[in-house]
Structure 1
Amino acid sequence: MAGIELTERAARRIAEIMKDEPAGSMLRISVQGGGCSGFQYAFDVDAARQDDDVVVERDGAGVLVDEMSLQYMEGAVIDFVDDLIGQSFKIENPQAQASCGCGVSFTI
């Protein structure tokens, strides 16, 4: 599982999203340079698995993480939250030393 965990809520939400996507599509989470804290997460739907992708699965839902992003996400927990501010995937990353208020940008 590459040291990345999907919560039950995240798996349920991913399954809901994928119902309307082409067969075989998965959620791709990657780490990119940028954002207000140095790195940021990107979320995309991808039907093509690359050779260096790691697949994190739970309850039939899958997430693709490329090898480069994996080094920044080792030990992370991917959750889905629905609160007054809105709905979003939330990543608790033990490698992040700081993150911005939006929770999408972080520093290592």
Structure 2
Amino acid sequence: MTETSRQVQMTESAAKRIQELIASNGTSDLMLRLQVSGGGCSGFQYEFSLDSDKTDEDNIFENHGAKMVIDDVSLDLLGGAEIDFVRELVGAAFRVNNPNATSSCGCGSSFSV
């Protein structure tokens, strides 16, 4: 995988939501952690959390003033993706537009490659 294809972007909407979550937590050293784990109805699932720790296997991406951390293994499955935050009638959530996913479940929280 080339360095360019291992990039992950976030929209302004996602960055704004990350900043809101960090502000409500009362500490400024947090980042959004995006991980891929086995499971879900399609084989892999996305997991989001706030984290202040970074390991040697982590990659930090910064867009629109917000930081996101992704471990190397997850990045292999997420390279080239865009993270968005959407508000719809059924609720609001982070959405991963992942070009590596060959299929995904109806709710968008799991995928296969």
What TM-score comes out, normalization by structure 2 length?
Answer: 0.91
The question of 1:8 aligning with 2:5 is answered: no
Flag the structure with higher helix content.
2
Paired residue for 2:79, among 71, 74, 77? 74
In the alignment, the residues of structure 2 paired with residue 90 and residue 69 of structure 1 have an alpha-carbon distance, to the nearest angstrom, of: 16
Could you list the structure 1 runs, at least 4 aligned residues long, displaced by more than 3 angstroms after superposition: none
- TM superposition shift of 1:20: 2.3
Which letter maps to 1:14? I
Q: How many Å separate the matches in 1 of 2:39 and 2:71? A: 18
CA distance in 2: counterparts of 1:43 and 1:96, whole angstroms: 18
AA of the residue aligned to 1:71: D
* Alpha-carbon distance, 1:43 to partner: 0.6
What is the CA RMSD across the aligned residues, in angstroms?
A: 1.1
Aligned-pair distance for 1:92? 0.4
Match of 1:83 in 2: 88
- The SS at the match of 1:56 is strand
What is the match of residue 46 of structure 1?
A: 51
Report deviation, 1:23. Answer: 2.9
Unaligned runs of 5+ in 2: none
Q: Percent identity?
A: 45
Give the 5 Å matches for 1:49-64. 49-64=54-69
Matched residues, number = 108
How far apart in 2 are the matches of 1:32 and 1:54? 17
